[in-house]
């Protein structure tokens, strides 16, 4: 059963998640090492198209773009969708909060400093509201749009579909439909990166999940 937007907001409030840089690689172990092994993806696929479902304010999308740039991909696109229009507006600006990951996260993944800029004073609390501005030539490879994966499939397919901490959340549509729409968004030889593999059919996990 599909719940109206008004009723959903009454029950659960405005849908707005919070994310951080390199979330895929923290929540799904070994993904960075496997995904960005150039002989596996870069040479086989040529270009690389990535979709982040439930991208919030864009940190995860920009993380994939930074990883692509740092690992020598030239023909790549990293896109993100989210149900929250305010989050998408923030993502478009290309300036995101660090949140829970400190600035060392970029050094951990060998991201060159010319690809980003951090502004602001280091915080005294756990959440870091310093602003990270992504270089314009990296932002040029990114796109964001509003979309509810529980209501309809994405308009095209991707080499990598990331969906972390999204599917278990309350959905306006059916969760099974959301899962199926995630699956339909990945190319036949593409990969799904999710920390909720238990929601997917076993054959999908075996075929599309990185191990």
The band of 26, judged by pLDDT with boundaries at 50, 70 and 90, is low
pLDDT of residue 143: 97
The band of 125, judged by pLDDT with boundaries at 50, 70 and 90, is low
- pLDDT tens, 129-141? 888 999 999 999 9
| Listed range (16-25, 91-100, 106-115, 133-142) with the worst mean pLDDT | 16-25
Q: What is the mean pLDDT of residues 29-57?
A: 68
Q: Give percent of the chain with pLDDT exceeding 70.
A: 77
Range among 138-142, 166-170, 197-201 rated most confident: 138-142
Residue 204 reports pLDDT greater than 90: yes
Residue 186 reports pLDDT greater than 80: yes
pLDDT, the chain, mean: 80
Query: DSSP for the chain?
Result: -PPPHHHHHHHH-S------TTHHHHHSTTHHHHHT-TTTTHHHHSSEEEEEET-TTSHHHHHHHHHHHHTT--SEEEEEEES-HHHHHHHHTTEEEEETS-THHHHHTT--GGGEEEESPPPSSSSEEEEEEEPHHHHTTEEEEE--TTTS--SS-EEEEE--S-TTS--SS-HHHHHHHHHHTEEEEEEEE-S-GGGS-HHHHHHHB--
Q: What is the mean pLDDT of residues 127-154?
A: 91
pLDDT of residue 38: 43
Between 99 and 39, whose confidence is greater?
A: 99
pLDDT of residue 138: 95
pLDDT of residue 35: 67
Residue 9 reports pLDDT greater than 90: no
The band of 85, judged by pLDDT with boundaries at 50, 70 and 90, is confident
Domains of the chain by start residue, with CATH: 5-95+136-208 (3.40.50.150)
């Amino acid at each position: 059963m599909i719940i109206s937007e008004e009723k959903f907001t009454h029950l659960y409030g405005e849908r707005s998640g919070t994310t951080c840089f390199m979330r895929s690689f923290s929540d799904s172990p070994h993904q960075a090492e496997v995904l960005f092994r150039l002989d596996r993806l870069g040479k086989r696929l040529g270009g690389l198209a990535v979709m982040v479902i439930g991208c919030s304010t864009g940190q995860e999308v920009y993380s994939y773009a930074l990883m692509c740039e740092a690992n020598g991909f030239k023909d790549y696109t990293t896109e993100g969708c989210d149900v929250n229009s305010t989050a998408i507006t923030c993502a478009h600006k290309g300036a995101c909060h660090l949140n829970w990951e400190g600035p060392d996260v970029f050094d951990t993944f060998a991201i060159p400093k010319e690809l980003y800029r951090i502004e602001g004073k280091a915080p005294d609390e756990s959440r870091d509201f310093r602003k990270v501005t992504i270089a314009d030539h990296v932002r040029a490879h990114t796109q964001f749009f509003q979309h509810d994966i529980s209501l309809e499939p994405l308009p095209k397919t991707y080499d990598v579909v990331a969906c972390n901490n999204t599917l278990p959340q309350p959905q306006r549509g059916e969760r099974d439909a959301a899962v199926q729409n995630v699956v339909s968004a990945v190319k036949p030889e593409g990969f799904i990166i999710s920390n909720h593999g238990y929601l997917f059919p076993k054959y999908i996990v075996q075929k599309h999940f990185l191990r």
